[in-house]
């Protein structure tokens, strides 16, 4: 049977967990999954690496473990781990939290993408780098300065990667997942109106059932990754396409 490879970050809960569950059902995928937490899943197809991706020295030392050798039809790097950060106006941000957020949301995916391209560039496999982005990459949100700016910077990084690697078998995406019912949305609702003026809107999303389930979003992401011929642009949004 032909083999494919998925390398995913932030698989332990939320959207990443739903993506993991989707690909675990597909026997042809070998999966390398990185979060701080390891899940109690026993599958020959899954290798879990427990790592704090904001600790860049550790990530740098372990990069070779993340990218296995082998013959694969398709190789996907899915940079999903992310943090909303301290929800506070600029002026009240902690330097340590700013550093953690930039490391996790931006530099970690940059390190991984750089190593991925170096490692697999010359292979014949179909290669995909998909960064989970956000509508906040292109919209200034009060209280979310670190989140908006790291997501915007990562989108530009991947646009450059796409321009540098124009080839039939290389695909790069910055993919907004919509508003997903995960712990991150819970964190957003726990902030306050002084720090985050849009809080009531986000509380209403939950109350009115407007959050999308991680499973539904995971299925759309897998559809995109499986139909790269239909998705030519780097910047994508799951709200703008249907599975058909």
Provide the annotated active-site residues.
147
Among 52, 126, 195, 219, binds ligand NAP (CB under 6 A): 52
The smaller minimum CB distance to ligand NAP, of residues 13 and 195, is found at 13
For residue 209, CA distances in Å to 85, 180, 204 come to 24, 11, 8
Closest CA to 30 of 48, 6, 11, 2: 6
CA angle 218, 224, 226 (to 5 degrees): 100
Q: Longest C-alpha distance within the chain, in Å?
A: 56
The window from 23-31, 50-58, 89-97, 159-167 that contacts ligand NAP (CB under 6 A) reads: 50-58
Q: Report in angstroms how near the CB of residue 93 gets to ligand NAP at its nearest.
A: 17
Site string for ligand NAP, 164-183 (x = CB under 6 A): -------------x-xx-xx
Distance CA 9, CA 83 (A): 12
238: nearest Cα among 196, 176, 179, 191: 176
From 35-43, 60-68, 153-161, 191-199, span contacting ligand NAP (CB under 6 A): 35-43
Q: Give 86 or 185: the residue with its C-beta nearer to ligand NAP.
A: 185
Footprint of ligand NAP (CB under 6 A): 10-16, 35-37, 52-54, 80-83, 104, 132, 134, 177, 179-180, 182-185
């Amino acid at each position: 049977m032909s083999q494919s490879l998925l390398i995913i970050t932030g698989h332990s809960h939320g959207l990443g967990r739903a993506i993991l569950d989707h690909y675990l059902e597909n026997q042809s995928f070998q999966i390398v999954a990185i979060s701080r937490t390891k899940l109690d899943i026993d599958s020959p197809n899954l290798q879990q690496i427990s790592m704090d991706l904001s600790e860049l020295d550790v990530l740098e030392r372990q990069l070779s473990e993340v990218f296995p050798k082998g013959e694969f039809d398709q190789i996907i790097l899915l940079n999903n781990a992310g943090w909303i950060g301290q929800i506070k106006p600029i002026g009240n941000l902690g330097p340590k939290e700013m550093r953690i957020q930039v490391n996790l949301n931006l530099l970690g995916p940059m390190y991984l993408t750089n190593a991925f391209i170096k490692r697999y560039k010359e292979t014949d496999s179909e290669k995909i780098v998909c960064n989970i982005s956000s509508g906040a990459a292109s919209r200034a949100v009060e209280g979310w300065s670190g989140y908006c700016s790291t997501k915007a910077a990562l989108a530009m990084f991947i646009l450059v990667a796409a321009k540098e690697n124009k080839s039939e078998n290389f695909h790069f995406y910055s993919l907004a997942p919509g508003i997903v019912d995960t712990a991150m949305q819970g964190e957003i609702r726990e902030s306050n109106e002084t720090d985050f003026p849009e809080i009531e809107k986000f509380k209403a999303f939950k109350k009115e059932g407007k959050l999308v389930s991680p499973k539904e979003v995971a299925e759309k992401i897998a559809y995109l990754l499986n139909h790269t011929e239909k998705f030519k642009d780097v910047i994508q949004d799951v709200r703008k396409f249907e599975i058909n």
